[in-house]
Amino acid sequence: MNDTMQLAKKVETEAARPEGDQSQRRITLMPPVDIFENSQGVALWADLPGVTKDRLDVKVHDGSLYIEAEAVVPTPAGLRLQHAEIRRPHFARAFSLGADLDASKIDANLKDGVLNMTIPRRDEARPRRIEVRTH
């Protein structure tokens, strides 16, 4: 049996387990992000579908930014789950922050499954205009 068939069989076996079975392995997904940069700082947008604020954890430690979240996908009332590839997706992503960014002033907002973060540059790292005098 080749690797692909073994993986497919494993997925079918895991999907057949009851929903309350804690032995089911947790699947971690890397959320897609868009990163924009300008002279003022960096904006990061991460797609976290199904994630609510209480299941989102954003941390900064030793020059790195960590995003972890868990989505809850409820089964609509009156329906019975027949097949699920990912029931409770876990999202995780880490980024290194440059020395010119001010981690103490990060602003984060979650709306409609999109985490929008603004990371400003340190004041001394921002471009500034130098006034030139004449004699």
Q: Per residue in 42-81, pLDDT tens?
A: 999 999 999 999 999 999 999 999 999 999 877 788 888 8
Report if residue 54 sits inside a domain: yes
DSSP character at residue 33: E
Flag whether 12 is in a domain.
no
Q: Considering just the CA atoms, what is the radius of gyration of the chain in Å?
A: 22
Phi-psi region of 12 (alpha: psi -120 to 50; beta: other; left: phi over 0): alpha
Q: Which two tokens stand for residue 128?
A: 């500034």
Global model pTM greater than 0.85: no
State the Cα–Cα distance between residues 107 and 120, nearest whole angstrom. Answer: 9
Number of CB atoms found within 10 A of residue 33's CB: 15
Q: What is the pLDDT of residue 16?
A: 44
CATH of the domain at 39: 2.60.40.790
| Mean pLDDT of all residues in 98-121 | 95
Quote the strand ranges of 13-113, DSSP E: 28-29, 33-38, 41-47, 51-61, 64-71, 90-96, 107-111
Whether residue 5 is contained in a domain is answered as: no
Amino acid at 65: L
Q: Where in the sequence is the domain holding 67, given as residue range(s)?
A: 26-74+84-125
Least Cα distance to 63 among 109, 104, 124 occurs for 104
What's the structural domain count of the chain? 1
What 3-state class would DSSP assign to 100?
Answer: coil
